Amino acid sequence: RCSFAGSQLEEFTSVLEAAHKVTVLSGAGISAESGIPTFRGAGGLWRNFDATELATPYAFAANPSLVWEFYHYRRCIVAAAAPNAGHYALEALQRKCEQQGKLFTLLTQNIDGLHAKAGSSNVVELHGSMWRTRCCHCNNIQGAPEPMAKEANIPSMQLPRCKLCNGLLRPHVVWFGECLEVETMECAHNALEDCDLLLVIGTSAVVQPAAGFAPLVKAHGGAVAEFNTEDTPISDNCRFKFHGPAAVMLPAALG
């Protein structure tokens, strides 16, 4: 179901033109057309594991080898992937906003780095990055198996280790039950406070705190535009709803 009612697009364009501060929140759906599985729904299974159950500190504590294999597998998929027209449309929007002297911030829940690969700058990575690691012992941050492969069961001492203290490294990402970085949350709040327009793209809007961003902007009197193939729990907060694939709808709405 693709909806592109002409009047909605016209009104959206004029709100975008008039906005002084534009903020974007993206989720897994924007990378779907780059071939990267989303978290929930059809793509959310790796081997027989639910992705949301592996993205926890408990899973890592119980079986760091398995969780490392999961991230290694995902790094391989992303390394071979390219940004799509949706990522590029947001890069173009950032350049246009900055030329016009507007404030622009791109907040992403994705850890794939594809916004930066498309040329976006100052991307706020709310949930960290699959391309960085963090030492479990001293917090130092440093710069593929087949999907059906048998579990490698790598002894913890042979898993990636910290160059400084030899502690066990983990992906530098935010798992369930963990707090987002304080500086990251400050960047997000600055970008959301008094923003005139928030674009919410390809997120199921069930994971906090990002799920609260659209209601926050609406409460401040800002407009929210949702780009998603489906309705979500925040759809009712959205003045504009663009139903369809982000790689199609974003270039069409922002072009």
Site residues (vs ligand BJW, CB under 6 A): 27-29, 32-33, 38-40, 52, 55, 109, 111, 127, 173-179, 202-204, 206-209, 227-230, 232, 245-246
Q: Binding site for substrate: what residues are annotated? A: 71, 74
Q: Tell me whether residue 21 or residue 127 sits nearer to ligand BJW (CB atom).
A: 127
Known binding positions for Zn(2+): 135, 138, 162, 165
Alpha helices for 19-84 (secondary structure H): 29-32, 51-54, 57-62, 64-79
Does 138 contact Zn ion by CB under 5 A? yes
Contact status: 152 vs Zn ion (CB under 5 A): no
At closest approach, how far in Å is the CB of 161 from Zn ion?
8
Q: What angle do CA 49, 136, 165 make, to 5 degrees?
A: 140
Residue 78 burial (CB count, 10 A): 21
Residue 137 known to be catalytic: no
Contact partner at residue 28 from Zn ion, ligand BJW, none, CB < 5 to 8 Å by partner kind: ligand BJW
Q: d(Cα 249, Cα 243) in Å, to the nearest integer?
A: 8
Find which of Zn ion, ligand BJW, none residue 178 binds, CB within 5 to 8 Å per kind. ligand BJW
Q: Which two tokens stand for residue 203?
A: 């997120």
Closer to ligand BJW by CB, 49 or 167: give it: 49
Nearest approach, Cβ of residue 101 and ligand BJW (Å):
30
Choose the binding region for Zn ion from 57-65, 156-164, 179-187, 233-241 (rule: CB under 5 A).
156-164
Q: Which is nearer to ligand BJW, 38 or 133 (CB)?
A: 38
Backbone angles phi, psi at 179, to 5 degrees: -90, 145
Rg, C-alpha atoms of the chain: 19
Residue 241: strand, helix, or coil: strand
Q: Establish if 243 lies at the interface with Zn ion (CB under 5 A).
A: no
Sign of CA dihedral 122, 123, 127, 133: negative
**169 contributes a contact to Zn ion by CB under 5 A:** no
Which letter, b or e, does each residue of 42-54 get, where b requires 16 or more Cβ atoms within 10 Å of its Cβ? eeeebbeeebeeb
Q: In terms of CB distance, is 33 or 196 closer to ligand BJW?
A: 33
87 contacts 108 by C-beta, under 8 angstroms = no
Q: How far is the CB of 99 from ligand BJW (least distance, A)?
A: 27
For the annotated catalytic residues, the residue numbers are 127
